[in-house]
Amino acid sequence: MLRNFRKAFQGNQTPTAILMMLTMAGMVAYLMPSGRAEAPDNVVARVYGREIIKRDLDLNTLYVQRGMGERGRSEEGLAYAQSTALRMLIDKSVKQEQAERHHVVVTDQEVREDLMSTLKRYEFFKNPDGTLRPLDEVDRILQQSQTSLKEFELQAKERLTQAKLQSQAGSAMPVDEAWIRMENRARNEKISLESVSLEPDAASVPDPGDAKLDAYLKESGSLFRQGARRVIQYVAVDRASFGATLNPDDAALKAAYESKKAEYSELKASHILFKAKSEEEFATATEKARKLREELIKGADFAKKAEALSEDETAKVNKGDLGWFKGGAMVKPFQDAANLLKEGELSQPVRTNFGVHIIKLEGRRTKTFEEEKEALRASLSQERFLQRGKDKLEQLRKRAGDRGDLTAAARALDLQVKTSKPFLNDSTTMIEGLPSSGLLVSDAFKLKVGGISKVQNAGGSFVVFKVLSELPTEVPPLKDVRAKVLDSWKVKEAKRQLLERSIAQLKGGDLKALGEVRTTTDTTVKTYPEAASISIRKELLATAVGQISTPVWGSDGKLWIAKITARTPAPELNFEQRRALIAELQKQLVEKQLDTEILFLESEGKLRPGFSSLWGRIGGIWVNANIGQVDLGE
């Protein structure tokens, strides 16, 4: 209902809209924050009035798309997957908001036509006579690939919406005659030139002293302005914090070996693969595998057949030999079939997501306790550290509370508290004493000042931190940024000196006086590499034949000067060429505009993050902090 009210406000001020506005005013008391501002447990985010609920976080699909196996499904992997899935859904919702603001409408009929067109491109969705299979059958096939017909429909709607959005916005983009003429010249006019690129030597510029640098800092303060910086108080525990108590004795190692003995069993196998994707291809591959198995049973050489017939790209080299592998190393249908075989035995055709295999078991072995002893010691020691490190810091958090005294809590547990230097919200920031602190830095800016973090992993340590303070945006004193100011001043001075020297040397009209001259013939501005710099592009188009260009700085930081030696004018555009060029220019413009709008919607939404406030319900981006931290593009 709220969405409908908001649509009315986007239109004309009709009596109906006025009535709805009055009705909305009567709802303000209901929508404004009350004593309870928490979201229902199933709501993970709200984006401009669109709720995202827990069941929308399809982590299984994400695991498949990102190739995340069981190792990726750890506690850390789950948090990453939740955050990634939520980020994707928020992006979708922001794009929906953008399309709605542009009044883009996609009908059910358009979605169905696009869906049917998409399905008909795939042979495995067709009957033998070429007609499309029933949609319930298509849906079953899709579900085998961790998707569904509903997902295909949603993708079709998103695709059509974005296409209509670009088309509608692009058609309104003005492209004037001067731009068309200039773009045609840049693409089709042939030019020949001599050019020189000169690099300023900042290293040769001496340190001018604090007086000049301080004056430069005051003059160019915006270059050195630092954003908000935060200071944290943190407690970290690493393996060294527990000493020898992490080391397991032989009894613990033997118990661990016995409990995991199945994991130390290995198989050695060879295979022959016939690739398949569609149901038709699987049927063909299965028949090939069945016939080949009959030949192998009769005595055909497995290695030679693998080298000649297997569609595994490595078969030409290894002749189908997969070597030794542990349980879980292969996809489940392959592993299960291999486990059932006796040494020297051939499997029936085995279907996997790669195709159809014939497997030959070459051998079995189980690694002994002595072989695995050191690996077990390292594994158990790490498991103990993970458990004890987390437990220790969870005790710390419990003592300190969400906004309590971290120092007193740490003292009671005999832990050391450290205070960081002020740092920026930058993924490259490294906090002294905390390796791999990039994610921690981001989280430190998501907490309120005074807030205490959850237990976090920072490289080889577990960390809990408290945000002590936030320093405002400011230009720091010279002593804090002297090295940065000096580097900037040297570059600026080196450029000034080089430009002055080059202008003096050019008075004779000879480029060779500047340095090595490079000759380029019959190029276009569009294909000339240095023309990526707008200033060089303008000089190439504006400088007359026989004239030397104005010296300009390229995007590579070098001083560029050229003499135009010849031009061949661009041919006039015909009607079709002109129309195609206008469409391309409009597309470039609209893509930039729409990308900018998305950034604006995200930044605007973050200003209204409340869940129960009026603006939080219909005009903001709110994320449930209990679901996982999501970067909204800060």
Higher pLDDT, 86 or 361: 361
Q: 250 by DSSP, 3-state: which?
A: helix
Strands 456-458 and 43-47: unpaired
- Please state, for a pLDDT cut of 90, what percent of the chain lies above it: 49
- Phi, then psi, of 69 in degrees rounded to 5: -85, -160
Strands 423-424 and 621-623: unpaired
Dist. CA 235–CA 396, nearest whole Å: 9
Q: Torsion over CA of 591, 593, 599 and 600, rounded to 10 degrees?
A: -160
Query: Which domains occur in the chain, in start order?
Result: 1-28 (no CATH), 32-171+590-623 (1.10.4030), 190-219+480-568 (3.10.50), 226-472 (3.10.50.40)
> What is the b/e burial string over 545-569, where b = at least 16 CB atoms within 10 angstroms of the residue's CB?
eeebbebbbbeeebbbbbbbeeeee
Q: 606 by DSSP, 3-state: which?
A: helix
Helices H, strands E: what count in the chain? 22, 16
pLDDT of residue 482: 94
Strands of 318-460 (E only): list them: 321-326, 350-352, 355-366, 418-419, 423-424, 456-458
Is the model's pLDDT at 26 over the cut of 70? no
CA atoms within 13 A on the CB side of 170: 16
Q: How confident is the model at residue 618 (pLDDT cuts 50, 70, 90)?
A: low
Q: What is the pLDDT of residues 470-512, one digit of tens each?
A: 998 889 899 989 999 999 999 999 999 999 999 999 988 889 9
Residues 77, 85 contacting (CB under 8 angstroms) = no
Higher pLDDT, 47 or 434: 47
Average pLDDT across the chain, whole number: 84
The secondary structure of 68-136, three-state, reads CCHHHHCHHHHHHHHHHHHHHHHHHHHHHHHHHHCCCCCCHHHHHHHHHHHHCCCHHHECCCCCECCHH
Residues 75, 118 contacting (CB under 8 angstroms) = no
Task: Give the pTM.
Answer: 0.55
Which amino acid is residue 502, in one-letter code? Answer: S
Higher pLDDT, 545 or 46: 545
Residue at token pair 């924050």: 33
Dist. CA 524–CA 527, nearest whole Å: 5
Q: What is the pLDDT of residues 219-249, one digit of tens each?
A: 998 899 888 899 999 999 988 888 888 999 9
Using only C-alpha atoms, the chain has a radius of gyration, in whole angstroms, of 33
Higher pLDDT, 274 or 603: 274
**Residue 172 in tokens:** 């309104």
- In this prediction, residues 277-288 reach a mean pLDDT of 90
Under DSSP, the state recorded for 56 is G
pLDDT of residue 38: 45
- Please state, for a pLDDT cut of 70, what percent of the chain lies above it: 86
Q: How confident is the model at residue 78 (pLDDT cuts 50, 70, 90)?
A: low
pLDDT of residue 85: 81
Distances (CA, A) of 198 to 142, 494, 525: 59, 11, 20
Q: How confident is the model at residue 625 (pLDDT cuts 50, 70, 90)?
A: low
Q: What is the pLDDT of residues 106-165, one digit of tens each?
A: 999 999 999 999 888 888 788 888 888 899 888 888 877 667 888 889 889 999 999 999
**Residue 385 in tokens:** 């550290």
pLDDT of residue 624: 76
Residues 6, 18 contacting (CB under 8 angstroms) = no
Q: Which of 261-275, 287-301, 463-477, 600-614 has the lowest mean pLDDT?
A: 600-614
Q: What is the pLDDT of residues 192-229, one digit of tens each?
A: 999 999 999 999 999 999 999 999 999 998 899 888 89
Sheet holding 559-568, edge to edge: 518-523, 190-198, 559-568, 552-553
Q: What is the pLDDT of residues 368-408, one digit of tens each?
A: 888 888 988 988 998 899 899 999 999 999 999 877 889 99
- In this prediction, residues 611-619 reach a mean pLDDT of 54
